[in-house]
Amino acid sequence: MGSGTTCASLASAGLIINSGGSCSGAAGNLTFTPAAALSASGFGPITVDGGAKLTLAPGTYNIDSIYTTGGGWVAMNASTGSIALNTNEIDLTGSNSLAISNSNPVTMNVYNGLGASSGVTIGNGVTMALSGSSLVTMNIAPAVATPLTLTGAFSNLNSSGAPVPANLQILYGGTGPISLEGGAACAAVVYAPGAPISVPGGTSFYGSLIGSTVNDANGAAIYYDTQLQNVHIGGVVATVQPFMMDSFSWARF
């Protein structure tokens, strides 16, 4: 993806952005909206720093990578339309939060991985929260060596405060390790049949975990949500269904 032109360089607010699209807002609180040229050149690497906030409005984005340092915030506001994000890496180890308003579908496609070939990293002290009822999908390419590391607080709750695994699905076709340590309300559907999955924290995970292995290292409680068997939100595939006979023979063995 191309680096585009400089849309804003707000060092005083701690926000450094290279953009091929359009943006608006005061220093430290910037909203991106896609432009026609975005599909061709895309955004270059984006760093959100120093308590600044970056909001993605509805639309389709090609962003080389997103990093946060010094308490930067990232928000995906799909309240009035869907969001599709194509990127190589999302590293929120230095963030305050990733807030997803998923009134409409949100899709994150993570491709090649950069640096240490990490796809999505959400570190300690980072709150990841979903606040809607539409499907959020994270597609991570098989080539990404370290696809997903979650160590921050994780919230995927309905209006009654109950976890809703069906609202978030994570799909990965490679063999790299996945680590899920998401706090007391970690709820998701994870389909990564070739990858080892570890749940290193001692808190609870709600949903479905499908990997080459699943390692519950520190006694985390893992709950399969039986309601996933009846989910009809488009695209949810990573769940347990009743067994079906696929072959039959009278031969004795």
Q: What is the pLDDT of residues 32-78, one digit of tens each?
A: 666 544 444 567 778 887 777 888 888 888 888 888 877 888 899 99
Q: Which helix (H) or strand (E) holds 104?
A: none
In a domain, 251, yes or no: no
- Please report the pLDDT score of residue 25 as a whole number: 53
List of residues 6+ apart from 79 with CB closer than 8 A: 58, 101, 103, 104, 132
| Whether the predicted pLDDT of 103 surpasses 80 | yes
In a domain, 63, yes or no: yes
By the 8 A CB rule, do 90 and 68 touch? Answer: no
Tokens standing for 226?
């039986």
In a domain, 44, yes or no: yes
Q: Which residues form the domain of 200? A: 5-230
- Please report the pLDDT score of residue 124 as a whole number: 75
In a domain, 42, yes or no: yes
Count the helix, strand and coil residues of the chain and give each as a percent rounded to the nearest 5: 5, 50, 45
CA distance 78 to 189: 20
In a domain, 60, yes or no: yes
Q: What's the rounded mean pLDDT across residues 84-110?
A: 89
In a domain, 99, yes or no: yes
CA distance 28 to 50: 8
Domain count, the chain: 1
Note the pTM of the prediction, 2 decimals.
0.81
Which stretch of 88-92, 106-110, 235-239 has the lowest confidence by average pLDDT? 235-239
Q: What is the pLDDT of residues 198-233, one digit of tens each?
A: 988 777 888 889 999 999 877 788 888 887 877 655
More confident residue, 51 or 140: 140
In a domain, 241, yes or no: no
In a domain, 169, yes or no: yes
